[in-house]
Amino acid sequence: MAVHAFAKSSGRRKPLPGGASNHSGWRAIMFLLPSWLLLAVFFFVPILLTFYFAFTNLSLTGTSSLATKFIGFQNFVSMFQDPTFRISVIKTIVFLVFSAVIGQQVLGLLLAVLMNERHRVFRSAIGVLVIAGWVTPEIVVAFIFYAFFSDGGTLDTFLSVFHVQPIAWLYAFPMVSVIIANIWHGTAFSMMVYQAALGDVPKEILESAAIDGAGRFQRFVRVTLPMIKGSIATNMMLITLQTLGVFTLIYSLTGGGPGNRTMTLPIYMYQQAFSDYQLGYGTAISLILLIIGIVASFVYLRMLKVKL
Amino acid sequence: MKRRAVCIGSSIALACVGLSGCATNSQHVAPQTSSHQQGEASTVKQRIITVAYQQFGNPPYFNQEWLQQAAQQFEKKYRGVTVKLEPIEASENDFYTKIDLMMKSASTAPDVVTEDTFLINADGSAGYLQPLNTEVKSWPDWSQFSAAMKSGSTSNGGVVYGVPYSTDTRGLYYDVKIFKDAGLPVPWHPKNWNDVLNAAKKIKEKVPGVVPLWMQVGKATGEATTMQTFEMLLYGTPDTLYDAAKHKWIVQSPGFLNSLKWIQTVYAGGLGPSLSQILNAQAGNIESQQLMPQQKIGIALDGNWLPGSWQKNGPAPWPDGTKAYQLTAMPTEYGQAPGYTSMSGGWALSISRLSQNKQLAWDFIKIATDKNNMEWYDVHQGNLAPRKDVADDPSYENAPGQFFKVATSFEKFTHFRPANAQYPSVSTQIQAAVEAVATGALTPEQAMQQYASNVQRIVGASNTEIVSK
Amino acid sequence: MKWSRAKADTILVHLVLVLIGVVFVIPLLWMIFAAFDGNATLALQVPQHWTLGNFWAILSDPANQRSFVNGVIISLGQSVLVVIVAGLAAYPLSRYQLKYKRPFMYTILFSTSLPITAVMVPVYELFVFLHITDSIFWTTLFLAASGLPYAIWIMKNFMDSVPIELEEAAWTDGASAFSSLRKIVAPLMLPGISTVGIFTFAGSWGNFFVPFILIQTPSKLPASVTIFQFFGQYGSVEYGKLAAFSILYTIPAVVLYVLGQRYMSTGFQFGGATKG
């Protein structure tokens, strides 16, 4: 279908200047075909299947795995009556807002602003420390913070200086713990985005603002922020979507527990689908996750007024 | 248009199959089979049967050694057939998920698989397992398995899905020294739940630094949480989990609520272990291999196989383990008849329905579950023997460092889990309820409410009932 | 007066940055100390006797070696595939005036938003249906597809910044679109290619969920899954080995980052991407 659309469109393309007109429409198809094939089979088919399975009682074991039935909206009806589902929506939002929207975004911007115009060596020295967290694979991040937050672990060692009794942070403050771990892992990404963006802000404008008597803070709010608006919105979208899908970190750090205290939607989906054998119900949860992702990107795109 | 896309797709797919074929072959040449294979490949058509089982925690793995022994005997008898052992390194829940995923597809389905009997009905009715009724009929050894044992691997409709190779009972372990230090009676025979609770309170008060009462309450410990903790309580109340006569799940009952309340009392009262110890997938190993050998646990509600860890060549050798700890029966709620309760489960060897070598797989199972192999395994692992000839063998009954005699005596009042295909899904809901209560996330009433609505969703509301006073 | 205030500001900024840097490095300390400690615990302590024993224990295990090889095959295969396929797709999107370009780019952008975790159940069912479960090859192909939307998007933006005039010269010399892509655009796209390649590799190397579900045979599992299993099995006992395993597992990602680092700064320029 879509390939077809492209065949048509590329035939009608405006001829490019200087000899480009000898490129016929099928070339465009040839270039796009591999990506479309891959995306169609492994991306769009599973998404369509998600819509289908979400309305079935498909299960991993037991009778309904053989006799899978179409059950209409039953999964969604139970979902909205399921207190754990409600909890996990809230947990997902908390995790998203605090670890990505606030944590990574603000800390990343702060780092980039503070590092801007510092000495090169100093910049890269601090930069490397922050980027180390980003380069570290998610699962190792989980181990590191497992040790960091464990009863008698690194954090307790440091706090013992202030005579704080050892605390098993992952059990006492599980959500705070996974949020901190995710900030540690993700901040470098935002920092690098903003470093690149700040590098594009022309110095002359800032200087002339300074001459006009604008203070450091005013210059940042009045000049810099509007100029990097595009990067902020793009970054916001990217990290929002990355964070919505975070599974490995939480799964290996807390497994969603204790109780349901870090049960974000991806974890709940996994539990329902694979540990509790309810593939259909798990898929229905996935569908909600997909919809949240789509809505979030739509909102950001609107905010951005992106033109592609 | 559509056809063209398919054509291109399939030609790419063909090229890929060629590639992946190569990759798979090179992957499959495991060191121990390669020399064997080359030697005989020219004369006899080489056949391989695969056996999948769980491997988790610290070595040694007695189930692996047992299957290896059986494999050697099998390969001697059936020339040209190689037994390939496929250990699945995963926690209990992940293991169940993994074997179900494997049995869904012919390319990954193992020939022989170890099945926990709680899952066997579900996997059978999902079409993953081969019915073995005709095979067991012509197998003289089948009469050695008691009716109760057979029922564990047989569906409601009478389909035999596996040969049991172990069973178990559950009870209370107590540390003799801690009990004496706390001024509690030894030997100890609690008469009701309150006796257990009071003993734990006394330990907390008199013997600091030990866990007064250990019982699994995490989702991570999976079926252990359901069976060793929750069902040991529930089946000691007048209520039960499943109404076999009406074929209905009992989603709310006073017994259910009281069981959750008791768990809450233990954990909210600081009588249990810390959450970081108990909510861990490794909780069982922390308990039996670290804390009990250090005598840091006063009372533990657990299975009869625990001393298996303390064997001479076990993961945590401790010859005096069965002297330091004693096993006693779990009382019913108020001591009502028959006074005590226990739960029995076990494991079975099954054949995957998609197996290409069903006859060979069955031949392998017969060897693995013969008297000698069974006895070796049950004695080492510390499981109760499902075979009568093994159970009656003095060398088994009096095996050192085990509680076989006491544990077997619990069979008088033991219970089996509902032989219902939905049980595994219901069980995970129990685990969620228990963890929620133990961590204080939900009150017992809320947890039961949530359990009820989730089970109604899973099995259908018409298949559930509510028992009130 | 004013000068000294600026100086005080500068000192404050440096202090804050150093503080943040220290806070970022603290969690790493445990991993480094424990990896070289024969008796590591969860507590942060400098090893009394430094040893490489933990590393040898991990490296000498054939199962671990195999899992590293599997991981490299999957991640490298995925990265190469993604770079080539996304590069090809980005070319017409950047160079040709396609009528349906905008909806296509919107679709691509939306697709980047879909958490891969969410579609794993259907993907597994699809794999079973096509009889392609438990295959390193197909898993790699699936991972490549899942990385494509993001890669195409970044590649297209990079390609937009390569001036078309260079190609026009080649076209007048009779070069085809493909050869001008290969000979002229690709070399200039090196920053884009390395950014996409590194992003893809890093994401794939750390991805444990997808192979965990799609691959069953233990000998085919990549390092991301074996390290998770190691954590599950021995994580609460063998802390030193876990830390050593973690360091070994992190090395490829670090190496790749160091190699591609000088191109990466341009990879983060999203400002231009949204101006249209």
Q: What is the average per-residue pLDDT within B119-140? A: 93
Q: Locate C184 and state its tokens.
A: 């002229």
pLDDT beyond 50 at B164: yes
C-beta of residue B278 within 8 angstroms of C-beta of residue B290? no
CB-closest option in B31, B90, B105 to C128 = B105
pLDDT digits (tens, 9 = 90+) for B22-60: 333 333 333 333 334 444 433 446 799 999 999 877 778
Q: Are residues B228 and B267 in the same domain?
A: yes
Among C113, C178, C208, the residue with its CB nearest the CB of A294 is C113
Q: Are residues B85 and B57 in the same domain?
A: yes
Q: How many domains does chain B have?
A: 2
Contact C121, C59 (CB under 8 A): no
Instruction: Please identify which residue in the block is written with the tokens 């980039």.
Output: A112
Domain range for B278 is 170-344+418-466
B340 & B364 share domain: no
Sole residue written with tokens 């095959």: C73
B198 and B91, same structural domain?
Answer: no
Of chain B, the percentage scoring pLDDT greater than 70 comes to 90
The burial class, CB within 10 Å (0-12 / 13-18 / 19+), for A248 is: buried
Is B280 in CB contact (< 8 Å) with chain C? yes
pLDDT band at B225 (very low <50, low <70, confident <90, very high): very high
Same domain, B111 and B135: yes
Confidence class of residue C141 from pLDDT cuts 50, 70 and 90? very high
Residue C145 makes CB contacts below 8 A (sequence gap 6+) with A38, A39, A41, A42, A43
Least confident of A20-29, B90-99, C103-112: A20-29
CATH number of C62-275: 1.10.3720.10
Sketch the domain layout of chain A as residue ranges: 2-53, 82-304
Cα–Cα distance between B262 and C96 in angstroms, integer?
Answer: 71
Torsion sign, CA atoms B457, B226, B448, A169? negative
Q: Give the span between the Cα atoms of B159 and B124, in whole angstroms.
A: 9
Clarify whether residues B186 and B65 are in a common domain. Answer: no
| Contact with chain A for residue B263, Cβ under 8 A | no
C128 and chain B: CB distance < 8 Å anywhere? yes
* Spans of all domains in chain C: 1-51, 62-275
Which pLDDT does position A212 carry in this prediction? 84
Query: Of A55, A136, A289, which to mutate for an interface test with C (greatest number of C Cβ within 10 Å)?
Result: A136
Q: Give pLDDT, residue A240.
A: 87
Is the confidence at residue A3, as pLDDT, over 60?
A: no
Tell me the CB-side half-sphere exposure of residue C164, using CA atoms within 13 A. 12
User: Cβ contacts (< 8 Å) between A44 and chain B: which residues?
Assistant: none
CATH 3.40.50.150 assigned to domain A82-304? The reply is no
Task: Select from A1, A37, A65 the Cβ nearest to the Cβ of B12.
Answer: A37
Partner-chain contact B108 C124, CB within 8 Å? no
B/e letters for A64-87, b = 16+ CB within 10 Å, e = fewer, are bbeeeeebeebbbebbeebbbbeb
User: pLDDT class for A1, splitting at 50, 70, 90?
Assistant: very low
pLDDT above 90 covers what percent of chain B? 61
In a domain? residue B35: no
Of the two residues B169 and A290, the one the predictor is more confident about is B169
Q: Which residue has the higher pLDDT, C106 or B24?
A: C106
Instruction: Convert the pLDDT of each residue in B349-383 to its tens digit.
Output: 999 999 999 999 999 999 999 999 999 998 888 88
| The pLDDT of residue C276 is above 50 | no
Task: Give the model's pLDDT for residue A6.
Answer: 29
CA angle, B468 as apex, B410 and B237 as ends, to 5°?
15
Exposed / middle / buried, residue B400 (Cβ in 10 Å: 0-12, 13-18, 19+)? exposed
Q: Does A106 touch chain C (CB under 8 A)?
A: no
Cβ neighbours of A143 in C, within 8 Å:
31, 231, 235, 242-243, 246
Query: C264: buried, middle or exposed (CB in 10 Å: 19+, 13-18, 0-12)?
Result: middle
Nearest residue to B347 (alpha-carbon basis) of B170, B143, B167, B136: B167
Answer yes or no: do B98 and C216 touch at CB < 8 A.
Answer: yes
Alpha carbon distance C56, C153 (integer Å): 42
Cross-chain Cβ contact C236/B282 below 8 Å: yes
Per DSSP bridges, beta strands B47-54 and B81-88 are parallel
pLDDT tens digit sequence for A111-135: 999 988 788 888 888 888 998 998 8
Closest CA to B118 of B174, B168, B190: B168
Higher pLDDT: A297 or B190? It is B190
> Which pLDDT value is given to residue A306?
53
* Nearest residue of chain B to residue C73 (CA atoms): B23
Six-digit token string for B176: 């003799």
For residue A291, give how far its alpha carbon lies from the nearest alpha carbon of chain C (Å).
Answer: 9
> Across the interface, do A143 and C231 touch by the CB < 8 Å criterion?
yes
Does A61 contact B126 at a Cβ distance shorter than 8 Å?
A: yes
> What's the whole-number average pLDDT of chain C?
84
Same domain, yes or no, for B156 and B202? no
Q: How confident is the model at residue C236 (pLDDT cuts 50, 70, 90)?
A: low
Closest-approach residue (CA) in chain C for A299: C110
SS3 for B114? strand
Residue B422: CATH number of its domain: 3.40.190.10
Q: Categorize the per-residue pLDDT at C269 as very low, low, confident or very high, splitting at 50, 70 and 90.
A: low
Three-state secondary structure readout of A32-97: HHHHHHHHHHHHHHHHHHHHHHCCECCCCCCHHHHCCCECCCHHHHHHHHCHHHHHHHHHHHHHHH
Contacts of B91 in chain C (CB under 8 A): 232
Closest CA to A306 of A219, A233, A207: A233
Whether B149 and B224 map to the same domain: the answer is: no
Judging contacts by C-beta atoms under 8 Å, the chain A residues touching residue C182 are none
All residues of chain C having their beta carbon less than 8 Å from the beta carbon of residue A147 are: 30-31, 34, 42, 239, 243
Nearest CA in chain A to C146: A43
Residue range B59-95, pLDDT digits in tens = 788 899 999 999 999 999 999 999 999 888 887 778 8
Mark whether B361 and B313 lie in a shared domain: no
In a domain, B233, yes or no: yes
Asked if C220 has any chain B CB less than 8 Å from its own CB, the reply is yes
Which is more confidently placed, B8 or C84?
C84
Q: Which of A231, A101, A109 is nearest to C268 (CA)?
A: A231
User: What are φ and ψ of residue B416, in 5° steps?
Assistant: -110, 155
- Could you tell me how many CB contacts below 8 A there are between chain B and chain C? 66
Q: Would you call C133 and B107 a contact, using CB atoms and an 8 Å cutoff?
A: yes
Q: Residue C267's pLDDT band (boundaries 50, 70, 90)? A: low
Asked if the Cβ–Cβ distance from A62 to B274 is below 8 Å, we say no
Contact A300, A100 (CB under 8 A): no
User: Residues of A with CB below 8 A from B441's CB?
Assistant: 258-261
Q: What is the mean pLDDT of chain B?
A: 87
Interface probe for A, chosen from C2, C24, C164 (most Cβ of A below 10 Å), is C24
Between B34 and B409, the more confident residue is B409
SS3 B250: strand
Most A CBs within 10 Å, among C58, C239, C274, to test the A interface: C274
User: Tokens standing for A279?
Assistant: 């593939």
For chain A, say whether B332 makes contact (Cβ under 8 Å): no
Task: Mark yes or no for CB contact A171/B276 under 8 Å.
Answer: yes
B458 contact residues in A (CB cutoff 8 A): 276, 278
- The chain C residue lying nearest A33, using CA atoms, is C89
B102 CB within 8 Å of a chain C CB: yes
pLDDT value for C193: 87
Pair B126, C257: CB distance under 8 Å? no
Read off the tokens for B170.
């559950």
Least confident of A80-84, A144-148, B20-24, C105-109: B20-24
Chain B hits for C216, Cβ within 8 Å = 98, 101-102, 108
Residue A218 near residue A232 (C-beta atoms within 8 A): no
Per-residue pLDDT of A56-97, as tens digits, reads 988 888 777 777 888 889 899 988 888 889 999 999 999 999
Is residue C27 within 8 Å of A145, Cβ to Cβ? yes
* Cα atoms in the 13 Å half-sphere on the side-chain side of B210: 26
Q: Which of B19, B101, B286 sits opposite C216 (nearest CB)?
A: B101
3-state helix, strand and coil shares in percent for chain B, rounded to the nearest 5: 50, 15, 35
The contact set of A with B (CB < 8 A) is 1, 3-4, 33, 37, 40-41, 59-63, 65-66, 74, 78, 81-84, 150-151, 168, 170-171, 255-261, 271, 274-278, 281
Q: CB-based contacts of B451: which residues, under 8 Å, 6+ apart?
A: B251, B256, B429, B430, B432, B433
Bigger pLDDT: C59 or A209?
C59
Query: At a CB cut-off of 8 Å and minimum separation 6, what does C6 contact?
Result: none
Chain C contact present for B86, CB below 8 A = yes
Interface test with B, best of A276, A278, A279, A285 (most B CBs within 10 A): A276
H or E, element range at B466: strand B464-466
What pLDDT is stored for residue B131 in this prediction?
96
CA nearest neighbour of C154 among C99, C112, C98: C112
Rg of chain C over CA atoms, in angstroms? 23
In chain B, what residues touch A168 (CB-CB under 8 Å)? Answer: 274-276
B371-375, Cβ contacts within 8 angstroms, sequence gap of 24 or more:
B371/B141, B371/B144, B373/B66, B373/B69, B373/B70, B373/B73, B374/B165
Kindly report the nearest CA distance between residue B108 and chain C, in angstroms: 7
Is residue B288 a part of any domain in this protein?
Answer: yes
Chains interfacing with C (3 or more CB pairs < 8 Å): A, B
pLDDT at A5 over 70: no
How close B70 gets to chain C, by Cα (Å)?
Answer: 22
**Residue of C134, C136, C233 with shortest CB distance to B89:** C233
A294-A184-C255 Cα angle (round to 5): 95
pLDDT at C265: 59
Q: Do C113 and A269 touch (CB under 8 A)?
A: no
> Which of B10, B97, B423 to mutate: most A Cβ within 10 Å?
B97
Query: C132, C209, C213, C217: best mutation site toward chain B, by most B Cβ within 10 Å?
Result: C217
Q: b/e string for C105-133 if b means 16 or more Cβ within 10 A? A: beebbbbbbbbbbbbbbbbbbbbbeeebb
Q: Is A164 helix (H, G, I), strand (E, B) or coil?
A: coil
Q: What is the mean pLDDT of residues B172-196?
A: 96
